[in-house]
Chain A
Amino acid sequence: MMENILEVKNLSKKYKDFELKSINFKLKKGMIMGFIGENGAGKTTTIKAILDIIKNYKGEIKIFGLDNKKNDKTIKEDIGVVLDDMFFPEILMPIDINSIMKDNYKNWDSNLFFKELSDFSLPKNKQIKTFSKGMRKKLEIVTALSHHPKLLILDEPTSGLDPIARNEVIDIFQDFIQNEECSILLSSHITTDLEHIADYITFINDGEIILSKTCDELLEEYGIVKCNESDFKKIDQKDFIKYKKNKYEYEILVENKKEFLKKYNVTTIDKLTLEDLMLLMIKGVK
């Protein structure tokens, strides 16, 4: 039985001023992977390679156990995508999208498409160019879901949405993986959304995967220690990942809260948020 819905092995791609360096990660069935990293870290390039819309990359990408290049058509029947700023020409209307997509996907479900449009209060007979950014994003999500895909690849799907719409969208994503057959790869800057829904977090920085763990593992085991300079000097370098010196204190990212507490006389270790993690991993030093 196929366990991994997506496998990325040694993915490399060179540009003049940027490089993806041997990216490796796996996404299991029924899981949501949050793909995080700062702008220009390589998230979108990785997603584009997975979708085979960039060329000349090295490495192996398997989706549903099949090579993404050799089985392009078969694979894409079962993938739904929301890509940043890439969509249908804006002079078209949602009703046109239905008409086009039902001839593109074997499993296109017009009833589902119109139901979701109605649930999101999106008009079906208005040109996309009249939509707000949030409405447009919702339409992209509805379109991605309406052929019953097994894998959703979403690049910043919640950007531009207000908190209520974001909540609705996150509920839809959670419903999507309920049957435990479907998975989501979701890149987002809105890390609080990921804390709510992601099972795994994969963190890319400067073209390299620097961390890929379950979200629970990260939020439970990792922590942030805040201390003064004299306490900081007592801490062994190998006992923390990165630190950041603020105006009045040091913030230290530790990998194992419990071990750290046993070893050092520290009274408080703050619970980690993904935002803290990103900040310390990128801006912190060692």
Chain B
Amino acid sequence: MLGLIKKDLLMIKSNIKTLFIILVVYGVMAYQGQMDLSFILPFMSVMIMISTFSYDAYNKWDAYASCLPNGRQNSVRAKYIATLLLIIITTAIVTILMIAIAYARTKSIDLESVFSTVLGTAFATIILQSFMYPSIYKFGVEKARIGIFIVVFGIAIVGGIIAKYIDFKPMFQVLDNLGNYWMIILPVVMILVLYLSYKISEGIYKKKEY
């Protein structure tokens, strides 16, 4: 499986220049206080992973991978592991940068605020990818991209309508009551959601014909 993980990481590597440029541009903007850096890199990681799916589809990689020893079993696992690695790396870079920028600008660091922002972004990224991947394996990149856009847009509209009639304060109260425990709960939920998504994708992939 290591070979298949390497394949995705090498594909990501070929996008490293783009990532670096974005990092520099947004880093400067964040330093000037024009931009919040927290979400940029993790969301870029989503785009980069999606582009690996596009390249895979274009070159019919999945069919070729199925001809390798354990290729069919390991392909999906490798994609999820590469995703997780990318999120961990980008989140770590963003955390360091946010601390450095905060220190450079104000000479004081609110670590709790940095960690909570970064963890929240990582959570959102993983949830998005957990929904996207099974759809991509089932319907292909193009259809899944459109599908996810419709779903996210739909949720935003429905959420907006519901928010007018329902009071969310008790829910936020529950979250407040969790105190710092959510720092543990959130990563556990992330891993669980990602694992569930992986099992669904694996199920789809095993039945796939090429």
Contact = CB atoms under 8 A, between A and B. Distances in A.
Contacts of A52: 66
B10 A99 contact: yes
Given A53-B209, A92-B10, A104-B3, A85 B69 contact: no
A85 B60 contact: yes
Interface string B58-75: 111101101111111000
A220 interface: no
A51 B3 CA distance: 20
Interface in A44-68: 48, 51-56
A96 interface: yes
A100 B209 contact: no
Interface in A98-132: 99-105, 127
Nearest to A47: B67
Contacts of A264: none
Contacts, number: 93
Main secondary structure of the interface of B (DSSP, over half): helix
B6 interface: yes
B66 to A, nearest CB: 4
A99 B6 contact: yes
A103 B52 contact: no
B71 A55 contact: no
Contacts of A91: 11, 14, 55
Main secondary structure of the interface of A (DSSP, over half): loop
A144 B14 CA distance: 24
Given A53-B209, A55-B207, A99-B6, A89 B68 contact: no
A249 interface: no
A102 B6 CA distance: 11
Contact of B69 (A86, A90, A100, A105): A105
Given A76-B69, A85-B60, A89-B61, A54 B209 contact: yes
Nearest to A95: B10
Contacts of B55: 89-91
Contacts of B161: none
A255 interface: no
B210 interface: yes
Contacts of B69: 72-74, 76-77, 104-105
B2 A103 contact: yes
Contacts of A54: 209-210
A173 B210 CA distance: 26
Contacts of A99: 3, 6, 10
B77 interface: no
A12 to B, nearest CB: 15
A81 interface: yes
Given A85-B60, A88-B64, A91-B14, A100 B6 contact: yes
A32 interface: no
Contacts of A85: 59-60
A79 B71 CA distance: 13
A100 B10 contact: yes
A18 interface: no
Contact of A104 (B4, B11, B209): B4
Contact of A53 (B58, B67, B70): B67
B145 interface: no
Query: Which one of A53, A79, A96, A103 has the highest number of Cβ atoms from chain B below 10 Å of its Cβ?
Result: A53
A92 B63 contact: no
Nearest to B68: A104
A86 B11 contact: no
Contacts of B138: none
B64 A86 contact: yes
A52 B70 CA distance: 12
A282 B3 CA distance: 44
Contacts of B209: 53-56
Contact of B66 (A53, A77, A100, A104): A53
Closest 9 CB pairs of A and B: A103-B3, A89-B55, A104-B3, A86-B60, A103-B2, A53-B66, A76-B69, A86-B64, A100-B3
Given A56-B209, A89-B56, A104-B71, 17 more contacts: A48-B63, A76-B67, A76-B70, A76-B71, A77-B69, A83-B60, A85-B59, A86-B64, A88-B64, A89-B52, A89-B55, A91-B14, A91-B55, A103-B3, A103-B6, A105-B68, A127-B14
22 contacts: A51-B66, A52-B66, A54-B210, A55-B207, A73-B69, A74-B69, A81-B64, A81-B67, A86-B60, A87-B60, A88-B59, A88-B64, A89-B7, A89-B11, A89-B56, A89-B59, A90-B58, A90-B59, A96-B7, A102-B3, A103-B2, A104-B71
